[in-house]
Structure 1
Amino acid sequence: MPRPAAASPSSGPLSGILVVSIDQAVAGPLCAMRLADAGARVIKVEAGEGDRARDYDKALGSTSAAFGWLNRGKESVVLNLKDPGDLALMKAMLATADVFLQNLAPGASDRLGLGAAQLTREFPRLVVVDIMGYGRGTPHAAKRAYDMLVQAESGICAVTGTPEVPSKVGISIADIGTGTNAYCAVLEALLERERTGCGQAIEVAMFDAMAEWMSLPLLHYDYMSIETARYGLSHASVYPYRPYHCADGDIVVSIQSAAEWVRFCTAVLRLPELAKDPRFIDNWARVQNRDALDAAVHEVFTAHRCDEMIERLEAGQIAWARVSTLHDLSVHPALRRIAVEMPGGERVEMPRPAGRLVASGSRVPALGADSARIRAEFAPAEAAAGPGA
């Protein structure tokens, strides 16, 4: 069956790929948006009330900041998948699709007749992606999962925050990491299909994504019996890698190698003898003696202004940064932006996707904006022919 053409064909490495996505909130939409950015045609299937993220706020006028960020370049069709006619339309879409993506509640896709096992039997070339909280076959498989819950469950919060107070990361890293992993998995599956001609079922669990990101503290615990402590803005296992107070502000300093440590002592601190002090002779020694080291470093930094210490850091070829506020980010000279049109026609500038000069799609769809066209395009043959045809 020839693939139906999109209303406005896009360009990019995934041009010609059709993605049908029942996505909501963050993880699923992010994966689908990355595919759209690369040129795929992405049809977002929404219930009558729409993706719940549409109404998180009205930061962008006609839609929320989250929805506006994560849904550019997609088409929107409203379907009631409990209705046999709409479910038949969904199956007609999947018959020509390359990728089906969903991040519904546990078990919901199976109850709709859209489970991975069934779809891969019906459509052998289809790549089916299930984004979930916890992996199938684990005791938590049926557990509902949201970003902060997974951060807490996976131990992220145990290593984040101050010694007194554990904290979540300030952005939705469980969702973002999971969506990014799902995007990579889809690309791998499409490449494999080129060789084998077969699609596959892919499971991407939020907990798995965060557990892998916790590998360093987990390996330290499992093999060294060291429980990583919370150090706020200081690194737990590389030192010095933290902010230091100057007379007029803070500068974050990062020392990553033995050569940098020597340059830091000589060119920045101007205390060459510190480089050979047995307490600080290598990274692990500095980690274990961080309080004594901080006392020596702070004595130098607090006596000078930021611009003076930055000049020394640059001369010593030492990496540094300021702790930016949201205002600082908004006006940062390194921030590159793209313009995106919101459902109500508003033009919004947002950060450019990393690794991509431009995004293929620059429009965020209104709820059901493409319903009529998509229904006509994918109408099952018997429905299109009408009664008595």
Structure 2
Amino acid sequence: MAPHPAPPLPLDGITVVTLEQAVAVPLASRQLADLGARVVKVERPDGGDFARAYDTAVAGTGAHFVWLNRGKESLAVDLKSAQGRALVRSLIDRSDVFLQNLAPGAAARLGFGSDDLRADHPELVTVDLSGYGSGGPFEHRKAYDMLIQAESGLISITGTPDDAVKTGIPTADIASGMYCAQAVLAALLRRYRTGEGASIEVSMLEATVEWMGHSLYTQMYTGAQPQRMGVSHVSIAPYDAYPTADGQILIGVQSDAGWAALTDVLHLPELRTDPRFDTNIHRVENRATCDAVVAEQTRRFTTADLDAKLADAGVPAAQIKQLSDVADHPQLAARDRWRTVGTEFAPVKALLPPATFRDAAAAMGDVPALGQHTAALLAELGYSAAQTAEYADARIVGVR
């Protein structure tokens, strides 16, 4: 009996056109590409997405670009020219989804405003992603990840009591990119039922403020600004990095049962009923003393030995991995989470998307060189080889 063919990926047959740069929309469109969508990335012929040139860390290609742009087709075209704009409009006319994160108003000035596109194609799904959203006093402000982290209050609660810091990853970009991809999937599902597309707006500020969660609600309803706690936690104890004989370990006890288990591992059963520590509320009230008692015992163990004992006892704990350790993380290796994708200069490792479909493998396509697919896309639109060469000579398109 012949084996059953593998089911198609969820977005097979969906075409996405993007005017994207940096992180937020490229992250969204890469997720769609991993799910099987065809993603055409429109870039400037003179350098393309500026994230290409952030560095040359990954075999000659920028690390941000490799992370965010696998599985896409690169069309290099000058949108300042009428011919270039017409070419891209022809692509959008044939697509299901259009995404953009140009400066506010720029897409509309080029003729790619959501209202105009959907007037001709009501079934089209469009997403405009910006720093602050349309309208309001901040509409036209510059919006980079660090700036949004500051405006959203994220920096105010991140760091130590002495120093506020931004997060080590582009949190605002990632948050808005995730909401962008989620909204596209919801809109496509609705279109499947009704035939109607959608005009969607995503604000980096609003995405990041949503992620502020309990800290924001704490402030709104108590009037108290949450403290910066380093790796500690404002409302849980013990929850911090503790010294070991050869380093340190993170321990996060989130319940009184967890505290009881920790006292067993540390050979301090008498602390289980100590009135200073018997409940989380009491442990938080006596945080400094609680942390000192825990630290006095943890430093008697090596990191690996204590980590194993805590895991066996069900106490939440983790070693603080360096990125070199993460690349070789035994859990990722055991679950076979790494794949190889092509880039302009060399094959590189890429992590599988976190959401795993049991019956279909993620697309995981190559990272495109600038303009790599221009000629093929023009041919698909009906342009002859001579027309493509003419456009290239006039620098309307860039062809590799």
With normalisation by structure 2, the TM-score equals 0.88
- The worse-fitting range, judged by mean Cα deviation, of 214-223 and 14-23 is 214-223
Q: Which amino acid aligns with 1:367?
A: L
Aligned to 1:349: 349
- The worse-fitting range, judged by mean Cα deviation, of 48-57 and 314-323 is 314-323
State the distance in 2 between where 1:310 and 1:366 align. Answer: 44
Aligned to 1:369: 372
Q: Which amino acid aligns with 2:338?
A: R
- The worse-fitting range, judged by mean Cα deviation, of 349-358 and 207-216 is 349-358
Q: Which amino acid aligns with 1:221?
A: Q
2:240 corresponds to 1:237: no
State the distance in 2 between where 1:301 and 1:33 align. Answer: 43
Aligned to 2:22: 25
Q: What's the C-alpha RMSD, in Å, of the aligned pairs?
A: 2.0
- Report deviation, 1:355: 1.6
State the distance in 1 between where 2:204 and 2:77 align. Answer: 27
Aligned to 1:144: 142
State the distance in 1 between where 2:84 and 2:305 align. Answer: 67
- Aligned-pair identity (%): 45
- Report deviation, 1:92: 1.6
Contact 1:152 1:158 (C-alpha < 8 Å) held by counterparts: yes
2:139 corresponds to 1:162: no
State the distance in 2 between where 1:185 and 1:149 align. Answer: 24
User: SS of 2:362's equivalent?
Assistant: coil
State the distance in 1 between where 2:244 and 2:214 align. Answer: 31
Deviations 1:269-300 (A, max 9, x none): 33233223333333333223211110111111
State the distance in 2 between where 1:155 and 1:295 align. Answer: 31
- Report deviation, 1:212: 0.7
Contact 1:60 1:342 (C-alpha < 8 Å) held by counterparts: no
Aligned to 1:322: 319
Contact 1:175 1:206 (C-alpha < 8 Å) held by counterparts: yes
State the distance in 2 between where 1:281 and 1:193 align. Answer: 55
User: SS of 1:189's equivalent?
Assistant: helix
State the distance in 2 between where 1:281 and 1:169 align. Answer: 34
Contact 2:307 2:319 (C-alpha < 8 Å) held by counterparts: no
Q: What number of residue pairs does the alignment pair up?
A: 372
Aligned to 1:4: none
Aligned to 1:359: 362
Q: How does 1:193-232 map to 2 (within 5 A)?
A: 193-232=191-230
Contact 2:15 2:97 (C-alpha < 8 Å) held by counterparts: yes
Aligned to 2:172: 174
User: SS of 1:262's equivalent?
Assistant: helix
State the distance in 2 between where 1:173 and 1:76 align. Answer: 26
Where in structure 1 do 4 or more consecutive aligned residues deviate above 6 Å? none
Deviations 1:228-261 (A, max 9, x none): 1112111222222211101111111121222212
Q: How does 1:3-82 map to 2 (within 5 A)?
A: 11-49=8-46, 50-82=48-80
User: SS of 2:104's equivalent?
Assistant: coil
State the distance in 1 between where 2:293 and 2:140 align. Answer: 52
With normalisation by structure 1, the TM-score equals 0.91
Contact 2:352 2:364 (C-alpha < 8 Å) held by counterparts: no
- Report deviation, 1:311: 4.2
Q: Which amino acid aligns with 2:293?
A: A
Of the three residues 109, 112, 117, the one matched with 2:110 is 112
- Report deviation, 1:379: 4.4
List alignment gaps of at least 5 residues for structure 2.
1-6, 388-400
User: SS of 1:279's equivalent?
Assistant: coil
Q: Which amino acid aligns with 2:348?
A: V
Contact 1:92 1:380 (C-alpha < 8 Å) held by counterparts: no
Deviations 1:295-326 (A, max 9, x none): 11111112332244234313421121100112
